Amino acid sequence: MPSRLTGQRGLGDSEIDVSDDGGLQDANAGVDKPPLLEARNIQKHFGRVVALRDGNFALRPNEVHAVVGDNGAGKSTLIKIISGVTHADEGELRINGGPVTITTPREARELGIETVYQDLALADHLDASANLFLGREELLGPPLSWFGFLDKKAMRLRTEEAMRRLKIGIQSVDQPVLSLSGGQRQAVAVARAIAWGRRIVIMDEPTAALGVRESSMVLELIKEVRSQGIAVIMVSHNLPEVFAVADRITVLRLGRTIVTLNTAETTLESVVGMMTGAVAAVA
């Protein structure tokens, strides 16, 4: 039976909670404050494989922060540690300067961190509205709620509102997501993350499976998310896309976060060089 998580902010709220930085648009917002999220000296081994040997990462409020690196560099491992899917062997995570433990995806969500996984994890046979509320379905008031009746009308209205807010053009939130294009499906997955994510939305390769037009739609969506006061961590292999949308870029090589750069102050060629080790990392 579906249950409503109590005390959880989300679609019903009139505006998104943006921590204490209140929707700043400037890419350098929060420079003098503790980072919104910080990973320090993270280490992670899988048996004898060292996935992360020195993971350091700082996310500012309201920025799009790309994490790049070659295959096996440790990007997904870092993301999974932040979203509670795997646990670090060493190191610490901090939010707004205070240490936190994130041992499950649910704990991450409770801290306002939502993740869009690469496989999207949408329920194909359900419509956008049902997907948005998957696992968080709204019940009707008692006594109907005692029998598990869902308040579909309320969910649909809130979904339409979320789609409007994100400027996502889906003709009907009632059609099964199976019938949507790849870009629209990605949009629904992103909308779900944004609808519930209060602080941080993490996207692992958000455009990897998409065509050109769909990719640009998702990139617009990422900018829209930032404009709503949420910070975005974006893992990507696509450097032109990273340069189109990210405020800062962290480069991972062989399990080490070797540098974090302001996108405006670097070039695609030097980032490629740092990823491969051909160019020394200079912040």
Ligand X SMILES: Nc1ncnc2c1ncn2[C@@H]1O[C@H](COP(=O)(O)OP(=O)(O)OP(=O)(O)O)[C@@H](O)[C@H]1O
Binding residues for ligand X, per CB under 6 A? 46, 49, 51, 69, 71-77
Residues listed for the chain: 283
Q: DSSP 3-state assignment of 275?
A: helix
- Beta carbon of residue 46, minimum distance to ligand X (angstroms, whole number): 3
Instruction: Give whichever of 81 and 130 is closer to Mg ion, judged by the CB atom.
Output: 81
Instruction: Give whichever of 76 and 250 is closer to Mg ion, judged by the CB atom.
Output: 76
Instruction: Tell me which of ligand X, Mg ion, none is bound by residue 14, counting a contact when its beta carbon lies within the kind-specific cut-off of 5 to 8 angstroms.
Output: none
Instruction: Tell me which of ligand X, Mg ion, none is bound by residue 280, counting a contact when its beta carbon lies within the kind-specific cut-off of 5 to 8 angstroms.
Output: none
Instruction: Give whichever of 18 and 52 is closer to ligand X, judged by the CB atom.
Output: 52
Instruction: Tell me which of Mg ion, ligand X, none is bound by residue 77, counting a contact when its beta carbon lies within the kind-specific cut-off of 5 to 8 angstroms.
Output: ligand X
Cα separation, 220 vs 167, whole angstroms:
9
Which token pair is 266?
A: 């670097």
Instruction: Tell me which of ligand X, Mg ion, none is bound by residue 49, counting a contact when its beta carbon lies within the kind-specific cut-off of 5 to 8 angstroms.
Output: ligand X
Instruction: Give whichever of 71 and 101 is closer to Mg ion, judged by the CB atom.
Output: 71
- Beta carbon of residue 194, minimum distance to Mg ion (angstroms, whole number): 22
Instruction: Give whichever of 46 and 147 is closer to ligand X, judged by the CB atom.
Output: 46
Q: Does 77 bind Mg ion (CB under 5 A)?
A: no
- Beta carbon of residue 76, minimum distance to Mg ion (angstroms, whole number): 3
Give the type of residue at 63: E
For the chain, what is the radius of gyration of the CA atoms? 19
Instruction: Give whichever of 76 and 83 is closer to ligand X, judged by the CB atom.
Output: 76
- Beta carbon of residue 41, minimum distance to ligand X (angstroms, whole number): 17
Instruction: Give whichever of 18 and 66 is closer to ligand X, judged by the CB atom.
Output: 66
- Non-local (6+) Cβ contacts of 242 within 8 A are 66, 68, 234, 236, 249, 263, 271
- Beta carbon of residue 252, minimum distance to ligand X (angstroms, whole number): 6
Instruction: Tell me which of ligand X, Mg ion, none is bound by residue 158, counting a contact when its beta carbon lies within the kind-specific cut-off of 5 to 8 angstroms.
Output: none
Number of H helices, E strands in the chain: 8, 10
Give the type of residue at 182: G
Please provide the DSSP assignment of 227-265 as one string: HTT-EEEEE-S-HHHHHHH-SEEEEEETTEEEEEEEGGG
Q: Does 76 bind Mg ion (CB under 5 A)?
A: yes
How many residues make contact with Mg ion (CB under 5 A)?
1
Number of other CB atoms surrounding residue 64 within 10 Å: 26
Q: Does 236 bind Mg ion (CB under 5 A)?
A: no
CA atoms 135, 141, 145, 146: torsion sign: positive
Q: For residues 93-112, which are near Mg ion according to CB under 5 A? A: none
Q: Which of 165, 164, 186 is nearest to 177 (CA)?
A: 186
Cα separation, 18 vs 22, whole angstroms:
5
Q: Which residues bind Mg ion (CB under 5 A)?
A: 76
